Amino acid sequence: MIDLYRRESNSISNMAQLRFFPQAIVGGKGSYLRGDDGRQILDFSASWGAASLGHAHPSVRGAITRAASDQAGASYLSSANEPSVLLAEKLLSLVPERSRGRVWLGHSGSDANETVARMVVAATGRRRILAFKGAYHGGTSGSMAVSGHPALKGVEKFSGLILVPYPDSYAAGDPAAASAATLFHLEELFSGDVRPEEVAAFFIEPIQGDGGLLVPPVGFFIDIERFCRRHGILLVCDEVKFGLARTGLLHAFEHSGIEPDIVVFGKGLGGGLPLSAIVGPEPIMNHSPTFSYQTLHGNPICASAALAVLETIERDGLVRHSAEVGSYMLESLAKRGNEWELVGDVRGKGLAIGIELVGDRVSRTPAKIQTALTVYRAFQLGLVMYYVGSNSNVLELTPPLTLSKSEADEGIAIIGQALQDVAAGKVSTDLVSSFAGW
């Protein structure tokens, strides 16, 4: 892998690189990647969830080939194209009635969330936005401006942004206490300096991803939804990472029993191609023509790939499959986690799983260095996974939705070996000195 990785470092800017080990990929199929050294590497990241059906899935590959063979232009900027219309119609059929109005298509979750942030302020005339600490809504200036992840602490925030804590049941030691603390914080804000009529929207992640794969307490988002309805605040659900079957339900927000006003899709929607979508009420989505557009928005090849993704999820029963294999993995990891001294907590839904590493289980001190060493060692052993979290100590598992139980077993065995090697001091910290990760 050294040659391709070295060539990249001599030719490509590192501004858009988030690296954990010297990974250089030349191909892939299903749940496996192929390195330029010929190694077959099991992929428990799926490119941060973007390769939702795995690599080189025949349905996506076929859709791309057909669309490129008779290409209906390159965008929907100045002409309609059938793949974009079909995709919009399909997405409208999948969301709750409350958000069933119009669809906007973009390139990534970043440009979609930035567009939503601008749109809700412009459409409502309200100048403030609520979001969670630890949240990551994208990498453009506008999406970073409404994010609360500590890795973005140097980024200029939206002037009307209000950040509130996302409930962390493990850190609090009690889900009810974690939930109550956030709700109390909100009520305090609104009884003080923040006026409800100033707030346009509340950006939420039904499961917080980059903040540490935090699963909210039961009933928490029902209370948030009531709060928003009471104050006329739009509920914006960021489903970019964990939507579309990832959590064992079609939408991650379904676990909480809520109906958002606006839903944002990305990553896995394109099956590995750059595509995002906003779905929301017509008065909001159509409040101003030519409000947010780029030349390649509504690209028919990307839209065709997305249609293939949605059709495959339905045809192959991947919602149920994600739930079943995810439950199998959670049970196995929770059982074996007791044997791995660095593991403090195992949590998740479906094929979105987090393993929090701690120095010891009493103090729950984040094991940041050990986490970086674990993903590096796992890569050496043949597994790709990354880490997330406000404290950079949560292993994130988002494998392809097509992952088999035997592949799950293979990956879990590698995780176990990596954790044991790190705990035994067999992995040098020098290995990760050049890889900042999160």
> Does 1 score more than 70 pLDDT?
no
Alpha carbons 136 and 153: distance in angstroms, whole number:
12
Long-range contacts formed by 334-341: CB under 8 A, 24+ apart:
336/412, 336/416, 339/416, 340/416, 340/419, 340/420, 340/423, 341/423
Segment 300-305 mean pLDDT: 98
Residue 80, Cβ neighbours under 10 Å: how many? Answer: 10
Quote the pLDDT of residue 437.
81
Please name the residue ranges forming H helices in 130-247. Answer: 141-144, 169-172, 175-190, 220-231
Where does residue 434 fall: left (phi above 0), alpha (psi -120 to 50 degrees), or beta otherwise? alpha
Residue 23 makes CB contacts below 8 A (sequence gap 6+) with: 1, 5, 35, 379, 384
pLDDT in tens, 65-100: 999 999 999 999 999 999 999 999 999 999 999 999
pLDDT in tens, 201-227: 999 999 999 999 999 999 999 999 999
Distances (CA, A) of 136 to 48, 248, 264, 268, 270: 13, 22, 13, 17, 20
Quote the pLDDT of residue 2.
64
pLDDT in tens, 389-424: 999 999 999 999 999 999 999 999 999 999 999 999
Residue 198 makes CB contacts below 8 A (sequence gap 6+) with: 126, 127, 128, 160
32 flagged as catalytic? no
Alpha carbons 368 and 151: distance in angstroms, whole number:
14
**Contact in structure between 271 and 245 (CB atoms under 8 Å):** no
pLDDT in tens, 128-149: 999 999 999 999 989 989 999 9
Quote the pLDDT of residue 314.
99
Segment 273-288 mean pLDDT: 97
Question: Domain residues of the chain, as ranges?
Answer: 2-38+317-432, 60-315
Backbone phi and psi for residue 105, each to the nearest 5 degrees, phi listed first? -110, 135
Quote the pLDDT of residue 436.
79
pLDDT in tens, 350-382: 999 999 999 999 999 999 999 999 999 999 999
Alpha carbons 352 and 268: distance in angstroms, whole number:
13
pLDDT in tens, 15-53: 989 999 999 999 999 999 999 999 999 999 999 999 999
pLDDT cut 70: percent of the chain above it: 100
Quote the pLDDT of residue 155.
81
Catalytic residue among 136, 166, 170, 387: 136
Query: Which residue type occupies 377?
Result: R
Q: Of 101, 77, 135, 74, which Cα lies nearest the Cα of 278? A: 101
Host H or E run for residue 264? strand 262-265
Quote the pLDDT of residue 143.
94
Alpha carbons 278 and 370: distance in angstroms, whole number:
38
Quote the pLDDT of residue 154.
77
The more confidently predicted of residues 175 and 436 is 175
Quote the pLDDT of residue 187.
92
Q: What CATH number should be reported for the domain whose range is 2-38+317-432?
A: 3.90.1150.10
Can you name the CATH fold of 60-315?
Aspartate Aminotransferase; domain 2 (3.40.640)
Backbone phi and psi for residue 343, each to the nearest 5 degrees, phi listed first? -80, 120
Q: Of 142, 90, 91, which Cα lies nearest the Cα of 112? A: 142
What's the predicted TM-score (pTM) here?
A: 0.97
